[in-house]
A and B are shown apart, each in its own frame.
Chain A
Amino acid sequence: MRIDLEPRPKASRTREIVAPVAALLVAILIGGLVVKLLGKPPLQAFRVYFIDPLTEGWSLQELAVKASPLVLIAVGLSFCFRANLWNIGAEGQFIAGGLFGGWLGIVTHGGSGGAWILPAMLLLGALGGLLYAMLPAVLKIWLGVSEILTSLMLVYVAQLGLDYMVRGPWRDPMGFNFPVTVNFDADATLPLLVEGGRLHAGVAVTLAVLAVAALVLSRTLFGFEVRLVGDAPKAARFAGFSDRRLTVTVFAISGACAGLAGISEVAGQIGQLQPSISPGYGFTAITVAFLGRLSPFGILIAGLVLALTYIGGEAAQVALKLPLDMTMAFQGILLMCVLGADVFTRYRIRLVGRSG
């Protein structure tokens, strides 16, 4: 008796939509088992994680605020992943964006202000992420260094760089020695979309980028190039597309998106720089990208689902004393399930050999 993976003769739309949903359900079951092993009631945990956050207005806003960076980063990553380039370092590019844009927020603090500051911060943030993503891209095309390793390791460089800046040169002199920068002025802060709420303009930026990305992927020659390289790299070369140019371009796009997400987070809900500005958005966005099947609309849905696990995770920490690591564990389980389900959309399992 052996198990064979047999390619499916036809791709099916239904199967491609069902697969991520099934993956989510299986991940929830496994997650429930882990909760059970931790000695907590799984059903109650499910409610706290997935149902309660959806029942109140403030938590729905919170959901959008948390989903926004995930979606923005994942949309950028989808360009890389479609072209079979593995940018694992969005977390670092996110931080680089926060640093670049945040710098303007610090130097304009207490100044005369002006409407130009905020757009300039967003641009600088995108630029910071873009430049930081150029390191793995350029190393790859010049020296053939694996982008997986370089982009991942640069995350730690960025994290420590941020840590150094907020503890050292950029520390708020009036901040009682806390390792944080000054609070940005109003002109350097993203405005709220709802009076007294949490929803800030960064969410609108994300939706705009999402729409542009959808347009680029489906309607432009460049989008065609990205899809072609992923599907058939040799055919892309035959089409006359240069893989070096494409490598640089998609890294630039994903870096800029991650950087924009970083500065939106800093200028949006945080309002200053601090030693940690991300609960791992850059890594979770990888799961979001794959759960969303690398399509803009899918990524929007997947971003909301993963944002839910962050909010639910915080609630579960309070209500059930479940460790916050449970959230990360669940996200990991979910990614594995998504990748597994992906295999079943293209292959079916066959048992070979009736022993006897």
Chain B
Amino acid sequence: MTPSGPTAPADSADRQPAPAAATGTIPLVAVRNIVKRFGGFTANDHISMEFMAGEVHALLGENGAGKSTLVKILYGLLEPTEGDIFFDGEKVRLASPEEARARGIGMVFQHFSLFENLTVSENIALVLPRTEGLDRLPQRIDEIAQRYGIVLEPDRPVWTLSAGERQRIEITRCLLQDPRLLILDEPTSVLTPQEADTLFATLERLKQEGRALLYISHRLEEVKRLCDRATILRMGKVVATCDPKLESARSLAALMVGAQIKEVKAAVAHPIGGARLEIRDLTLPSAEVHGTALKRISMAVRGGEILGIAGIAGNGQSELFAALSGETKASAQTIVLDGKEVGALGVTARRQSNAAFVPEERNGHAAAPDLSLSENVILSRHATGGLARYGFLRRAAARTLAKTIIRTFDVRTASADPKARTLSGGNLQKFVVGREILREPSVFVVNQPTWGVDAAAAAAIRQAIVDLAARGAAVAVISQDLDELFEISDRIAVIHHGALSPARAARETSREEIGLLMGGADGQHAH
């Protein structure tokens, strides 16, 4: 675990020549003492890193550790306050993404920038230089496909494609520019395990061609499998550089967090009751243009049980959540809470039936960023927490309740009652989860409970969910994180294209089986 010294594998001589030489010991790209300050906040604090040709270099760190800032600097989106960038040992300035691309830096973003209504090849043509004719494009797409095993259907409109297929468009876009350093930001977060395998094969091929890869991921098993070197950031500083293959996922996580992570304690044995939350044959058309319609969904969650709902983003999770919370209404008999038909009732009435909900988006959905925490308590509890009387707010009661949530769930705040936006992702998530769990709901529905949350907060949130179920509540957890679902669920169902698979007992299924369902196996849409 030394902070310097390239660990280039010994077989570098066998590789095809890199697009512009630079094998051996001169790094293809290097950053030295990069400092980036935003006002008084230092996002990057004297970071030095090297990217060798033919090497996959992982960049690890929790949210807010400074990964995105560093990557944006490398891609010309931000200028460093101090420090230098070297290309082939020569100092360069990257004032814009155009310059970065011209130097041979490509980036695949976590969030795709594709036009839904255009076809695959039209989307690819959009990023080509103006001077390039379109006549050779099909041929070039074909070449890339052959060389890297990237399967694309050029004439399909993008809105019909899965996340994995969309990502392939983004990667093809980058490869057409022949990058020497390819940056991938959380590339597997939207993929099924099987799609991820296909991606790894492509990346392996790129590596063998002598390209450098910068790989950002929070999935440590993946990093161990794919990457040759890992640099770990914590609070803007490099805390370690290591060979991830020699580390365990636990030791890497500990380096990222700076402490040992608590594991979620399994719930004590508790009785499983009758169904408290049921969906009966729910079909809902999509409210938005390219949204997902829900198709004949049925499920039941019993008291004391956690049902995990797996699926790749955009397969109907938010629509299912909205139907459960009452933000979208359906016909009365489709949703049943503790024996009561509530499908046609709104969110307030369902809360009054003692259900509680936590949506995916913290800022703007679960909480209003510019309101204080006590006002955010009023947001979801005005009808159930005694926080309004005769139409007047009871602010003192709201502040007391906020204080209780902050104390019980260890929410770190800078002042007594700050605005929601000033909290870190993990702390705000603990707050919104705590706000609902403290009510002791009999039914609890949460969408992506620990998305983008630091490891310690994620563990605390999962523990709170497990404990709630142990006290007899029926809990439905919608999540893209399979590790999370396997850690806390009793049963797991998969949502794909708006349809929900039957739930399987978590102990009797495997990641592979769930992964296949996420990709649409079961006969309908194989990849």
Binding site for B on A (CB under 8 A): 9-11, 219-222, 224, 227-228, 231-232, 234-240, 242, 352-353
B371 and A219 form a contact (CB under 8 A): no
Q: Which of B46-54, B211-219, B376-384 lies at the interface?
A: B376-384
A352 and B79 form a contact (CB under 8 A): yes
Q: A228-B371, A237-B327 are in contact. Are A219 and B392 (CB under 8 A)?
A: yes
Say yes or no: is B9 at the interface (Cβ < 8 Å to chain A).
no
Q: Which residues of A contact B368 (CB under 8 A)?
A: 228, 231-232, 235-236
Can you name 18 extra interface pairs (CB under 8 A) apart from A9-B39, A232-B367?
A219-B392, A220-B391, A220-B393, A221-B388, A222-B391, A227-B371, A228-B371, A231-B368, A232-B363, A232-B371, A235-B367, A235-B379, A238-B327, A238-B365, A240-B346, A240-B351, A240-B383, A353-B96
The 10 closest A-B pairs by CB, nearest first: A240-B348, A232-B368, A221-B388, A240-B347, A234-B365, A235-B368, A239-B379, A231-B368, A353-B95, A232-B364
Interface residues on B, range: 35 or more
B347 and A238 form a contact (CB under 8 A): yes
Q: Which residue of B lies closest to A221 (CB)?
A: B388
How many whole Å from B501's CB to the nearest CB in chain A?
28
How many whole Å from A157's CB to the nearest CB in chain B?
34
How many whole Å from A213's CB to the nearest CB in chain B?
15
Q: Which residue of B lies closest to A348 (CB)?
A: B39
Q: Which residue of B lies closest to A225 (CB)?
A: B382
Q: Report Cα–Cα, A191/B388, bound state, in Å.
A: 40
Q: Which residues of B contact A228 (CB under 8 A)?
A: 368, 371, 379
Interface centre among A11, A232, A236, A237 (most CB of B within 10 A): A232
A231 and B393 form a contact (CB under 8 A): no
How many whole Å from B451's CB to the nearest CB in chain A?
16
A235 and B364 form a contact (CB under 8 A): yes
Q: Report Cα–Cα, A231/B96, bound state, in Å.
A: 33
Q: Which residues of A contact B379 (CB under 8 A)?
A: 228, 235, 238-239
Say yes or no: is B116 at the interface (Cβ < 8 Å to chain A).
no
A221 and B369 form a contact (CB under 8 A): no
How many whole Å from A249's CB to the nearest CB in chain B?
13
Tell me which of A9, A224, A353 contacts B38 (CB under 8 A): A9
Interface centre among B41, B79, B392, B419 (most CB of A within 10 A): B392
Q: Which residues of B contact A222 (CB under 8 A)?
A: 391
How many whole Å from B312's CB to the nearest CB in chain A?
22
Give B144-158 as 1s and 0s: 1 = Cβ < 8 Å from A's Cβ atoms.
000000000000000
Q: Which residues of A contact B375 (CB under 8 A)?
A: 224
Binding site for A on B (CB under 8 A): 38-39, 41, 79, 95-96, 325-327, 346-348, 351, 357, 359, 361, 363-371, 375, 378-380, 382-383, 388, 391-393, 419, 422
Q: Report Cα–Cα, A238/B447, bound state, in Å.
A: 13
Q: Which residues of B contact A239 (CB under 8 A)?
A: 347, 379-380, 382
A221 and B392 form a contact (CB under 8 A): yes
Q: Report Cα–Cα, A240/B419, bound state, in Å.
A: 21
Q: Report Cα–Cα, A227/B39, bound state, in Å.
A: 29
Q: Which residues of B contact A231 (CB under 8 A)?
A: 368-371
CB<8 Å pairs between A and B, sample of 8: A221-B388, A232-B364, A234-B364, A234-B365, A235-B365, A240-B351, A240-B383, A242-B346
A238 and B382 form a contact (CB under 8 A): no
Q: Report Cα–Cα, A10/B39, bound state, in Å.
A: 10
Q: Which residues of A contact B351 (CB under 8 A)?
A: 240
B365 and A221 form a contact (CB under 8 A): no
B366 and A235 form a contact (CB under 8 A): yes
Interface centre among B357, B367, B379 (most CB of A within 10 A): B379
A232 and B365 form a contact (CB under 8 A): yes
Q: Report Cα–Cα, A237/B378, bound state, in Å.
A: 13
Interface centre among B325, B346, B365, B368 (most CB of A within 10 A): B368
Q: Which residues of B contact A220 (CB under 8 A)?
A: 391-393
Q: Which residues of A contact B383 (CB under 8 A)?
A: 240
Q: Report Cα–Cα, A234/B366, bound state, in Å.
A: 8
A219 and B95 form a contact (CB under 8 A): no
Q: Report Cα–Cα, A222/B382, bound state, in Å.
A: 11
A221 and B325 form a contact (CB under 8 A): no
Tell me which of B38, B361, B388, B392 contacts A234 (CB under 8 A): B361
A221 and B359 form a contact (CB under 8 A): no
Q: Which residue of A lies closest to B369 (CB)?
A: A232
How many whole Å from A1's CB to the nearest CB in chain B?
9
How many whole Å from B5's CB to the nearest CB in chain A?
34
Tell me which of A9, A221, A234 contacts B41 (CB under 8 A): A9
Q: Report Cα–Cα, A242/B349, bound state, in Å.
A: 13
Q: Report Cα–Cα, A11/B372, bound state, in Å.
A: 13
Q: Report Cα–Cα, A39/B134, bound state, in Å.
A: 59
Q: Which residues of A contact B393 (CB under 8 A)?
A: 219-221, 224
Q: A238-B347, A238-B365, A353-B79 are in contact. Are A221 and B382 (CB under 8 A)?
A: yes
Q: Which residue of A lies closest to B364 (CB)?
A: A232
Q: Which residues of A contact B419 (CB under 8 A)?
A: 11
